């Protein structure tokens, strides 16, 4: 198995164990959503020497860590695991990378994004409304499907346009994903 050059930023040791089952890669653990200054400095150093991939849980804490690390390392790559593919087997657990299958982790690490704030064609609020992603009874379900298809991690209505813009999703990619959702009757 080929080694991933970049270091993968994860939340904890269970995530590290699961990733090592799926790929040959080094990880650095934030040990929760209160990312220490020391950890940020290590991540910044690794970003300069090897590059980093942020791969956090699809929940509030994971998104918080993603924002903190992204601010410290704007050129970081991002991997996302879909919420429905990271569900714990026990009822008392929370969503997480550690619950994703080996195949899901591999797929997530193949479909990486790098933030792109210079996207040529912006997807605007009218596009989101026309696609029934906001202000619609089925909006949440449609957003979940869109985020899954584009593999950009789930976001709420307020954050959707920012996430699409951040990862440079083109109108063509957007429209193709919406067409796929419409064909499934959602």
Using one digit for the tens of pLDDT, what is the confidence trace for 108-154?
A: 898 887 776 555 567 888 999 999 999 999 999 999 999 889 888 88
What 3-state class would DSSP assign to 52? Answer: strand
Nearest to 131 by CA among 178, 177, 171, 184: 178
Q: Could you give the residue ranges of the DSSP H alpha helices within 73-170?
A: 102-110, 125-130, 139-150, 157-166
pLDDT at 112: 85
What pLDDT, on a 0 to 100 scale, did the predictor assign at position 166? Answer: 78
Q: Whole-model pTM?
A: 0.70
Residues of the chain with pLDDT under 70: 1-2, 87-93, 116-121
> Which strands make up the sheet holding 77-78, listed edge to edge?
27-29, 7-10, 52-54, 77-78, 113-114
Q: How far is CA 54 from CA 25, 126, 140, 157, in A?
A: 13, 31, 25, 22
What sign results for the dihedral spanned by CA atoms 116, 118, 120, 125? positive
For the chain, list the domains and their CATH numbers: 7-114 (3.40.1360.10), 125-183 (no CATH)
Burial class (CB in 10 A: 0-12, 13-18, 19+), 42: middle
Q: Find all residues with CB under 8 Å of 93, minimum gap 6, and list them.
A: 99
């Amino acid at each position: 198995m080929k080694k991933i050059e970049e270091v993968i930023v994860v939340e904890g040791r269970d995530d590290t164990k699961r990733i090592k089952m799926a790929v040959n890669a080094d990880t650095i653990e934030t040990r929760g959503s209160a990312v220490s200054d020391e950890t940020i400095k290590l991540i910044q150093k690794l970003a300069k020497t090897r590059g980093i991939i942020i791969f956090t849980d699809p929940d509030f804490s994971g998104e918080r860590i993603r924002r903190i690390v992204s601010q410290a390392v704007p050129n970081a790559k991002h991997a996302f695991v879909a919420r429905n593919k990271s569900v714990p087997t026990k009822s008392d657990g929370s969503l997480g990378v550690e619950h994703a299958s080996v195949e899901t982790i591999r797929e997530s690490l193949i479909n990486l994004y790098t933030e792109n704030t210079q996207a040529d064609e912006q997807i605007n609020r009218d596009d989101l409304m026309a696609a029934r992603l906001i202000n619609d009874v089925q909006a949440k379900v449609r957003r979940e499907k869109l985020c899954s298809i584009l593999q950009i991690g789930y976001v709420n209505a307020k954050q959707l346009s920012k996430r699409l813009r951040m990862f440079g999703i083109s109108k063509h990619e957007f429209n193709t994903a919406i067409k796929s959702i419409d064909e499934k009757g959602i």
